[in-house]
Structure 1
């Protein structure tokens, strides 16, 4: 055999098979280890039984019988008994092999489950909306499907949100992503209409719009990009400005402050219009940037502020309520197209349940989180928003035009 070829023992059948030099040796599974242990035990049992499985001892006993001619029948009886025992043990070994094979097949079937990777950017805490929806979807799928297995990857464990969604378009990485519509503006700019400043009058207004024609149009456009919309959720609370050192009591106090926002034109324009110095930044970098003074503050909903423990590095919340960031659950279309009808039904039902629970808890969780933040020592200040709202109307028109979404803005404004 050439020097660059080696031989390795197959863990299932015990044959020697060639393999390339430098290749890792095959590692037996637990099932195979169990089989080989049983086989060795049977061999030892055969050898110990009156020397019956020992050919050398057998020959010596027959020679002694030929010499004496008086104990040959005993030797024959022992020989027959030995053969009978060996037959039983061989049958036992075959049973063990069959059992091992059956268990291996069962293991293979279990391993063949399709993996559903659910990604989001926030903390692994059901106190925030994204993780709550993820938890509901994962548990529903794992309870109701024999062919799908869901697992949650919170806090950007699979990468920053934009990179995760890009991978999903190619059918790689995450299967499902739950996050703000702001992330999706990078792929379908018309979805940015959902993030215009001071756009949504209340939760009900948003629900009526997104469950109607606007939601249908945006979902159809997204599907062409390789992303299927499974549900539209609420952000648990309007987005407010949070600062580390400076207390904001009037609009002028925001001037020049470096306030982190999402990396999308609508959010940047909204913060700049309010007088702040909008600073786009990945969400995973915010805590450290507040801690080190790189940022003067950021803006987000109360539930995320609390579950992310931002009360440890920031002191003040100003109730600007400048944005209400809807969240959307999307699945990779390539993954979706590979599902059976039954699997699609399970995933769709899971997302619908997550959406319904999320919406039912929105107002309650927003209020609860705000009280918890006060208990942690944060100072919550109201502010006169009339100036912000007045400036937001022409900004809405300007941004909608740049997004090519003037038709959608018209529907939103007309919806009661």
Structure 2
């Protein structure tokens, strides 16, 4: 089945490239795993609009959302091999090559969104982007995935770690995330994102954790009783490009790509600011309780997972940790 899907994906990409390159000097193929209603996809659409307009269609951009070409790991490998030119996986996907990429996704590693963005667009983030070159990739920047929150069908509302004891909660296949929920007493259950809705609906799992954008766009709230704005992880996408594609661009085109990406990322932040309160209101309107933790309640969660955070920080270059600490405050 995977081989068939890969062959179909390659055929799809090839047909698009043939039709696009007939009219343009350069065609950029971008793949990602998120829904086409998600703010990260909207940022890529903005990138496409800017690039095509400002290049006078000398560069065209084709975007393949919804995991059409594969999940984050498959897409990253597709960029390495040049099947796809650019992608934006969650940064933890890269931890399979270097555990330094686990750091941005550690629980409560950033004080808030502003601190995360400051660190990622400073020395800390630049050090991580540079590491991508060791694995046949060019790191170009960061798109937000979102601040991860907990939804559940049991023990509602969840206001303390003890409320998660014995709860089967879906997480990504990320060791640090699973360790954090184990520390809270939960039973982390990694599974494919595309399986989460039906697993919640059928009671295979009790809970899940995701940014509000995913909770809303994938309609998880339809099969959950409560949402807790735990904010336990700031989740980020790492923008990656194939080196042959990127280095083969003219200086002028590279500058356009960098400029368009920055403006697309700024646009994404505008969308997130606008959408989050609207999403909370819509989820509440659907009859789901939404709980905002007090600073004291959040601190309890943060303290429970502190040993997990320290465990993973000890496994990376102290210079990276220093850059993180100086950059996020």
- 1:191 is aligned to 101
Give the 3 Å change call, closer, same or farther, for CA 279–213 of structure 1 in structure 2: same
* Alignment partner, residue 43 of structure 2: 133
1:151 is aligned to 62
The 1:280/1:406 distance shift into structure 2, 3 A limit, reads farther
Following superposition of structure 1 onto structure 2, how do residues 296-311 of structure 1 map, counting pairs within 5 Å? Answer: 296-311=206-221
Is 1:386 the counterpart of 2:299? The answer is yes
CA contact under 8 A between 2:113 and 2:234: conserved in structure 1? no
Partners of 1:229 and 1:330 within 8 A in 2? yes
Contact 2:168 2:186 in 1 (8 A): yes
Write the deviation string for residues 132-174 of structure 1: whole angstroms up to 9, x where unpaired.
Answer: 21111122222223332212211111111111101211112x2
1:399 to 293, 305, 312: 312
The answer for unaligned runs of 5 or more in structure 1 is: 1-106
Deviation at 1:112, TM superposition (A): 5.7
Q: What does the per-residue CA deviation read over 1:93-118, in whole Å, with 9 as the maximum and x for residues that have no partner? A: xxxxxxxxxxxxxx997356433222
Residue aligning to 1:268:
178
Equivalenced residues, count = 305
- CA-based RMSD: 2.1
SS at match of 2:130: helix
Is it true that 1:338 corresponds to 2:248 in the alignment? yes
Q: Is the 2:129–2:139 Cα contact (8 Å) retained in structure 1?
A: yes
Q: Give the one of 263, 266, 270 matched to 1:353.
A: 263
Query: Which residue of structure 2 lines up, in the alignment, with residue 98 of structure 1?
Result: none
2:106 maps to 1:166: no
Which residues in structure 2 correspond to 1:174-253 (within 5 Å)?
A: 174-236=84-146, 238-247=147-156, 248-253=158-163
Report the alpha carbon displacement of residue 221 of structure 1 after superposing the two structures with TM. 0.7
* Distance in 2 between residues matched to 1:244 and 1:118, nearest whole Å: 36
**1:222: how far off?**
0.7
Ranges of 4+ aligned residues in structure 1 off by more than 6 Å:
none
CA distance 1:289–1:141, shift in 2 (3 Å): same
Q: 1:405 to 1:372 in 2, by over 3 A?
A: farther
Alignment correspondent of 1:36: none
Larger relative contact order (CA 8 Å, sep ≥ 6): 2
Query: 3-state DSSP class of the match of 1:324?
Result: strand
* TM-score when normalising by structure 1: 0.68
**Residue from 18, 22, 26 that aligns with 1:114:** 26
Q: Shift of the alpha carbon at 1:354?
A: 1.0
- In structure 2, stretches of 5+ residues that fail to align are 1-18
* Largest Rg, 1 or 2: 1
Q: Does the CA contact (< 8 Å) of 1:170 and 1:334 recur in 2?
A: no
Q: Does 1:326 align with 2:243?
A: no
